[in-house]
Amino acid sequence: MNIKVLGSGCSRCKQAFQVVDKVVRDSRLDAQVEYVDDIMQVMQYDVLSTPAVVVDGQVRMAGSVPSEKQVRELLGL
């Protein structure tokens, strides 16, 4: 599983990455988590607001910092 947190480098985007990374580590999920702040890469996903969470190429959430519970639901845990 490939998970990307798209952001602009702001504190909310970094916080979203930390939440996603924590859930993946705590769940011992076999997944790669990366933070993408390159605007050209972010634009490829047609996201209008960040932070956004992309799972296996599909935007699953955008515009807010997810809770751990929301991340678990997005990942089907």
Domain count, the chain: 1
CA dihedral 69, 70, 75, 77 (to 10 degrees): 30
CATH of residue 62: 3.40.30.10
Residues 44 and 54: their CA atoms lie apart, in Å, by: 11
Mean pLDDT per 10-residue section of the chain, whose length is 77 residues: 94 96 95 95 93 96 96 92
Domain boundaries, position 28 = 2-74
What is the Cα gyration radius of the chain?
Answer: 11
Task: Name the amino acid, one letter, at 5.
Answer: V
